Structure 1
Amino acid sequence: DLDNLKYVNDSFGHEAGDVYIRTAATQLLAGSPVDALVARMSGDEFILFFYNLSDMVTLQTAVSNLEENVQGQCVILPDKNGHILHMSAGIAIYPTHSTNADQLIRYADFAMYQGKKGSKGCFIYFDASIYDQDHRPQ
């Protein structure tokens, strides 16, 4: 999820928002492992599938590299000033968290919003215990 896209659109227009989105897409592609699928879901949301990673350490390294490649990149908008790219992400792991694609997406979305409760611009791994507590019947 791109942080601050609404601000960019409202302050500089939708053309600037498109530049912000394209910059994010370029950085996501450049920062992802070779074995990855990167797609835009809608508006300011992207989805990435990393596959053929041998273990958790490799996954964590790939996520860390991606985060470094995306966060803080300078985006030059039509006002000719540099603006900082920020993105929030949730990470769900197959088969650890689920074997169902839709559920993995829900879990990643949940993790992302958990992270945004604290501050924007963070990459957060899904935590089943928080999810279970949050979705427990009242």
Structure 2
Amino acid sequence: MPTLDIPITLLDPDGGWINTPVHVSELDELPVLLHFFSVKQRGGDEDIDAVKRLIAEFAPRGLKVISVDVTHSAKELRDTNAVEAFARRHGLYHPIAVDDGSMARAYDVADTPAWLVFDADAGRLRHHFSGRNASRHVRQVLERFVQAGAAAPSPAL
């Protein structure tokens, strides 16, 4: 289990980005969900559907969702066509980082799928879930964040 005091600063994947790149400065005062997955993950459709549901429910309320494909070979890292095709086939239009493994190591992600929830106030890792049914726990945590007002940026005074 990783320490829960890790900042969300490691968003420079060697493999690049699918859809829109994200810079850490864009995440200030926003809660963030990092979803680690692999295009080669068996039974991953359920998790991809969960990502889409979480985006539909929580993105309008301020949540930033970023998926991270953990590649398994240098060839995959050089050729992102498989990740792009996967994203299109599944209707994924949010940012997807193609990771060489460095992001997964930094956040202590040993298995996919994994879900990391960062708070809006300090951009710190607050929850780390993994496994096939973890999306249910993620949703519960996000609902608490929203109810607590953490899923929307504070209005300027």
TM-score range, shorter chain: under 0.3
Larger Rg: 1
Q: Which has the higher contact order (CA 8 A, sep 6+)?
A: 2
Instruction: Provide the TM-score with structure 1 as the length reference.
Output: 0.28
